[in-house]
Chains A and B, each alone.
Chain A
Amino acid sequence: MKLQTALGAFSGFGLVYMMVMVFTLTPVETTQGFVQKIMYIHVPSAWVGFLAFFLCFVFSIGYLWKREEKFDMLALAAAEIGEVFCAITLITGAIWGKPTWNTYWTWDARLTTTLILFLIFMGYLLLRKFIDPGEQQMRFAAVVGIIGFLDVPLIHQSVVWWRTLHQTSTFFQTNKEKVIDPNLAAMLWISVSAFTLLFIWMLLKRNGIERERRNYLRRLAEQA
Chain B
Amino acid sequence: MNTWTLLKKDLQLDLRSLENFLSMLFFAVTILLLFAFALPLDDASHRLLAPGLFWVVFLLSGILNLNKLFQIEKENSCMEALLMSPISRGSIFLAKMAENMIFVLAMQVILIPLFSLFFYQDLLQHFFSVLGLSFLTCLGFSSLGTLLGGLTTDVRFKEILLPILLFPLLVPLLLASVILLKSVINGAGLGAELDWLKLLVGFDLVFALLSYLVFDYVMEF
Interface set of A (CB-CB < 8 Å, partner B): 64, 116, 119-120, 122-124, 126-127, 130-131, 136, 139-140, 142-144, 146-148, 150-151, 154-155, 157-159, 161-162
Interface-central residue, A124, A148, A161, by most chain B CB under 10 Å: A161
Is B202 in the interface zone, CB < 8 Å from A? Answer: yes
- Are B171 and A144 touching (Cβ within 8 A)? no
Residues of B within 8 A of A140 (CB): 151, 155, 218
- What's the Cα separation between A119 and B168 when bound, in Å? 7
Q: CB-nearest residue of chain A relative to B156?
A: A130
Total number of B residues with any Cβ neighbor in A under 8 Å: 32
- Are B151 and A144 touching (Cβ within 8 A)? yes
Is B22 in the interface zone, CB < 8 Å from A? Answer: no
- Are B161 and A143 touching (Cβ within 8 A)? no
Give B60 Cβ to nearest chain A Cβ, in Å.
Answer: 17
- Are B172 and A144 touching (Cβ within 8 A)? no
Question: Main secondary structure on chain B at its contact with chain A?
Answer: helix
Residues of B within 8 A of A150 (CB): 206, 210
- What's the Cα separation between A159 and B176 when bound, in Å? 10
- Are B175 and A159 touching (Cβ within 8 A)? yes
- What's the Cα separation between A48 and B203 when bound, in Å? 27
- Are B165 and A123 touching (Cβ within 8 A)? yes
Residues of B within 8 A of A130 (CB): 155-158, 161
Residues of B within 8 A of A162 (CB): 175
Q: CB-nearest residue of chain B relative to A118?
A: B168
Is B164 in the interface zone, CB < 8 Å from A? Answer: yes
Give B11 Cβ to nearest chain A Cβ, in Å.
Answer: 27
Partner of A151, one of B157, B169, B196, B218: B169
Is B184 in the interface zone, CB < 8 Å from A? Answer: no
Q: CB-nearest residue of chain A relative to B196?
A: A161
If A127-B155, A158-B172 are given as contacts, then 17 extra A-B residue pairs at C-beta distance below 8 Å, sorted by A number, are A123-B164, A123-B168, A124-B165, A130-B156, A130-B161, A131-B154, A140-B155, A140-B218, A143-B147, A143-B151, A143-B218, A147-B144, A147-B207, A150-B206, A150-B210, A161-B175, A161-B195
